[in-house]
C-alpha cells in the first residue's frame, strides 16, 4: 500500500519534537541552536525570515546537511541543535526527519513562520536567496 503525504508528515512529527516560539527564542538567545528556514526562496523574499536563520530550501537540505556532500554547508553538523521551520509546519517536519535520518541528534520543529512573526519576534529580510 502506498504511503500518503499525510502519513509521511505524521511519521515525521512523531520523530521530530515540536518546539514553541518561546523555547526556540531562548535557545537562539543562548547561542545554542542553528535555525533553518526550509521555505522556497519566493516565500522568504516576500516575508523575510527569523533573525539569524539560515535559508536552505527543502529541496537542497540533504545536500547541504550531509558532511559527505560536495554541497555541504559548514554551518550544519550532526552535533548541533537544529530548529527547522517553514510556512505551516509540514515541510519542516519532513526536513527534521531527513536531518534525523542523516544522524542529526537534536532537531526540533518550530512549525510555521507566521506564528513567529505574529508574536512580534525578530524577523529580517534576506540578503540573498538560499539554494
H or E segment at 119? none
Domain of 43, CATH number, reads: 3.40.250.10
- List, for residues 71-83, the tens digit of each pLDDT value: 999 999 999 999 9
pLDDT value at residue 128: 57
**pTM of this structure:** 0.91
pLDDT value at residue 88: 93
3-state secondary structure of 26: helix
The candidate with the shortest Cα–Cα distance to 16, out of 107, 99, 117, 82, is: 107
- C-alpha to C-alpha distances, 13 to 10, 60, 68, 109, 130, nearest whole angstrom: 5, 20, 26, 8, 25
DSSP conformation letters of 55-87: E--GGGHHHHH-TTSTT--TT--TTSEEEEEES
The candidate with the shortest Cα–Cα distance to 106, out of 131, 76, 66, 71, is: 76
In a domain, 102, yes or no: yes
pLDDT value at residue 64: 97
pLDDT value at residue 2: 74
In a domain, 51, yes or no: yes
Domain total in the chain: 1
pLDDT in tens, the chain (131 residues): 678 999 999 999 999 999 999 999 999 999 999 999 999 999 999 999 999 999 999 999 999 999 999 999 999 999 999 999 999 999 999 999 999 999 999 999 999 999 898 888 888 986 655 55
In a domain, 66, yes or no: yes
pLDDT value at residue 117: 87
- C-alpha to C-alpha distances, 86 to 17, 41, 54, 83, 94, nearest whole angstrom: 15, 11, 12, 11, 10
Residue 115 lies in domain: 5-124
Q: Hey, which residues does 107 pair with through a beta bridge?
A: 82
Amino acid at each position: 500500500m502506498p504511503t500518503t503525504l499525510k502519513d509521511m508528515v505524521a511519521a515525521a512529527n512523531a520523530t521530530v519534537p515540536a518546539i514553541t516560539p518561546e523555547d526556540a527564542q531562548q535557545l537562539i538567545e543562548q547561542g545554542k541552536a542553528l535555525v533553518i528556514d526550509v521555505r522556497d526562496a519566493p516565500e522568504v523574499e516576500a516575508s523575510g525570515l527569523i533573525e539569524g536563520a539560515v535559508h536552505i530550501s527543502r529541496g537542497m537540505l540533504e545536500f547541504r546537511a550531509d558532511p559527505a556532500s560536495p554541497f555541504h554547508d559548514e554551518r550544519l553538523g550532526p552535533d548541533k541543535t537544529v530548529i527547522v521551520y517553514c510556512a505551516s509546519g509540514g515541510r519542516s517536519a519532513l526536513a527534521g526527519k531527513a536531518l534525523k535520518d542523516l544522524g542529526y541528534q537534536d532537531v526540533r520543529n518550530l512549525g510555521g513562520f507566521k506564528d513567529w512573526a505574529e508574536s512580534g519576534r525578530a524577523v529580517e529580510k534576506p540578503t540573498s536567496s538560499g539554494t
